[in-house]
A and B are shown apart, each in its own frame.
Chain A
């Protein structure tokens, strides 16, 4: 079926725009950038419709990439039902966001640069989901990280963008260190990196003896996932990554790249299923992240930061899902989240675009008249993320929470409470932006069609995406474990609606109440507003000590003293000293030279004579 063509088109788009984009017109860049994703999307649809119903995984081997001892790594691509979901999300949502970006980035510099990076991102993301072994997946994994870095630092003349890009990249290094250790351990344990072969040998392993190794492997892989998918304790880069242009936040930092960790765990679920301890860790970290980020989200004033913390929180939900064994529920939430969170970001981008760059919620308000399409679509997205019955988020969140209820009721209650907080902070942002009176000074206007069209399409998906029964589609891979639980469904929906009602009361009906609550909460409010001072803590505990270690020991000690002074200048000094000594021989007088020749010849004769005697 030529799966390799799927990632090829975005790669071609990247090369064309990256190499020649400077000389092309904007419309040509658009055609290449959007067209390559569109072709890829159409090809994905063709492939999947041919392969339907895709009961078994289909692999294609192209060439052997690495052959070293027992380890053989091939360039192999696999399509199964899980990949199919991811492919459609990446190319489908990716296409919509590319179209949107054409409108959003219209007045920005570096237009071609943006689209070439964006296409490169899609290429790596497709490689990540198509790979049939961990190493090839890791290539995609690192590639999307690179593109994230490039795009976060897109406004590289701004100081904060460069810093945010570095932060994203460095924090991800920590996670990827764990991830690569996990890969090494898999190589040592299984002698292969192929998903199918690992799954086969796990099935025959003695459960008791292998439990320790498998737990270590899965925990190390999860460290990688916490970095890429912004979970505690490595989530800190994602809110700062909002320095990127908004379409980037929507595609990379909401819909696709940050969900790679969830996808990875679902992909190697056969390992996690044999490591119950690791799964417990995944679930608890996911749940903790969900609560933690949701509380921060309530207090933030930057509209993109609200949604960034919301992303962290929703990713926590997905990890809760895969951690309690409800893999298909996690992937289901991944998909609906891709719809509604991309829509939230694109809507926020539309607001920001309409207000000429304003991101602060305190300077918005009453925008529903000026931006009717954004108003309606963002409302649908907010309802979807709140888990309002009938909207997509309701079904996926319910799938996770029902499974949590069966697994451990306390997880369900914490999750349901978080759902309430989610509804509250999303609608807080929504009401602050669209209701009340306008508090800014810009002339607000609705965005062009190229931006509103993706909003409308995504709004339809966010509203009705829940009716796509992803758990049933994935049932050949992940047996349906969760039971429809009417009680859980009602309770979680009630929490969501409660959150919405609370937001209505505080931000529409009686805005003064919110202010008085704020002052009454006092120091706690300040603590949450400052994101629990986690950044400051990391800075004091890790960054500053590392900096001073680098400055005192590595720079002044090792680099300047040892390398510069001793090795580099030292060897120069030695050579110069010998030179000064030896140049005395170079007197310029032929007679002098001749004497040396004579002395040398006599020496040779003398030595030869001695040796001759010895013989």
Chain B
């Protein structure tokens, strides 16, 4: 039986940071609204990961509760966001993010 040492907290945090950065990068550079949307989910889950890691490390329940809240928000966001995307597509026939800019003055 191989006894591995426990994974240190910093590893989790580094992973979380990498995931978050990937999310930010995706948000900024991808052209499709769907991908941008998925990048947001990625950022949320990166944050969730650090919440849970801290919670485990500090033996406190708060982080878990926060992560559940984030999931609930993410689920609600997915419902609303996908509906918006659907409507936008129906009205404009495109999901290219640069073409959806009618809010500017």
In the complex, how many residue pairs between chain A and chain B have their CB atoms under 8 Å apart? 25
Interface residues of A in 550-608 (CB under 8 A from B): 583, 586-591, 594-595, 598
Nearest chain A CB to B34's CB is how many angstroms away? Answer: 13
**Contact B28 A589, beta carbon cutoff 8 Å:** no
Q: Is B104 an interface residue (CB 8 A)?
A: yes
Q: Is B100 an interface residue (CB 8 A)?
A: yes
**Contact A583 B105, beta carbon cutoff 8 Å:** yes
Please indicate the chain A residues that have their CB under 8 angstroms from the CB of B28 in the complex. Answer: 591, 594-595, 598
Please indicate the chain A residues that have their CB under 8 angstroms from the CB of B101 in the complex. Answer: 587-589
Q: Is B98 an interface residue (CB 8 A)?
A: yes
Q: Mark B75-102, 1 if CB is under 8 A from A, else 0.
A: 0000000000000000000000110111
Q: Is B74 an interface residue (CB 8 A)?
A: no
**Contact A590 B36, beta carbon cutoff 8 Å:** yes
Please indicate the chain B residues that have their CB under 8 angstroms from the CB of A591 in the complex. Answer: 28, 97-98
Contact of B103 among A588, A594, A595, A598 (CB under 8 A): A588
Q: Give bound CA distance, A595 to B101, whole Å.
A: 16
Given contacts A594-B27, A594-B28, A595-B28, contact A587 B36 (CB under 8 A): no
Nearest chain A CB to B103's CB is how many angstroms away? Answer: 5
Q: Give bound CA distance, A197 to B45, whole Å.
A: 85
Q: Give bound CA distance, A587 to B27, whole Å.
A: 17
Main secondary structure of the interface of A (DSSP, over half): helix
Please indicate the chain A residues that have their CB under 8 angstroms from the CB of B103 in the complex. Answer: 586, 588
Please indicate the chain A residues that have their CB under 8 angstroms from the CB of B22 in the complex. Answer: none
Nearest chain B CB to A546's CB is how many angstroms away? Answer: 50
Q: Is B24 an interface residue (CB 8 A)?
A: yes
Please indicate the chain B residues that have their CB under 8 angstroms from the CB of A594 in the complex. Answer: 27-28
Nearest chain A CB to B85's CB is how many angstroms away? Answer: 12
Q: Give bound CA distance, A594 to B25, whole Å.
A: 10
Nearest chain B CB to A600's CB is how many angstroms away? Answer: 13
Contact of A588 among B24, B27, B36, B102 (CB under 8 A): B102
Please indicate the chain B residues that have their CB under 8 angstroms from the CB of A590 in the complex. Answer: 36, 97, 100
Q: Give bound CA distance, A598 to B24, whole Å.
A: 8
Interface residues of B in 33-79 (CB under 8 A from A): 36
Q: Give bound CA distance, A586 to B27, whole Å.
A: 18
Q: Give bound CA distance, A586 to B36, whole Å.
A: 20
Please indicate the chain A residues that have their CB under 8 angstroms from the CB of B102 in the complex. Answer: 588
Q: Give bound CA distance, A590 to B101, whole Å.
A: 8
Q: Mark A516-544, 1 if CB is under 8 A from B, else 0.
A: 00000000000000000000000000000
Q: Name the residue of chain A whose CB is nearest to the CB of B98.
A: A589
Q: Give bound CA distance, A583 to B27, whole Å.
A: 23
Q: Give bound CA distance, A589 to B105, whole Å.
A: 11
Nearest chain B CB to A587's CB is how many angstroms away? Answer: 5
Nearest chain A CB to B78's CB is how many angstroms away? Answer: 18
Q: Give bound CA distance, A587 to B36, whole Å.
A: 18
Nearest chain A CB to B82's CB is how many angstroms away? Answer: 16
Q: Give bound CA distance, A100 to B53, whole Å.
A: 101
Contact of A586 among B97, B98, B105 (CB under 8 A): B105
Nearest chain B CB to A538's CB is how many angstroms away? Answer: 60
Q: What are the nearest 10 A-B pairs in CB distance?
A: A588-B104, A588-B101, A588-B103, A583-B105, A587-B104, A589-B101, A586-B104, A586-B105, A594-B27, A590-B97
Between-chain CB contacts (< 8 Å), 22 pairs:
A583-B105, A586-B104, A587-B101, A587-B104, A588-B101, A588-B102, A588-B103, A588-B104, A589-B97, A589-B98, A589-B101, A589-B104, A590-B36, A590-B97, A590-B100, A591-B28, A591-B97, A594-B27, A594-B28, A595-B28, A598-B24, A598-B28
Q: What 19 new A-B contacts, CB under 8 Å, besides A587-B104, A591-B97?
A: A583-B105, A586-B103, A586-B104, A588-B101, A588-B102, A588-B103, A588-B104, A589-B97, A589-B101, A589-B104, A590-B36, A590-B97, A590-B100, A591-B28, A591-B98, A594-B27, A594-B28, A598-B24, A598-B28
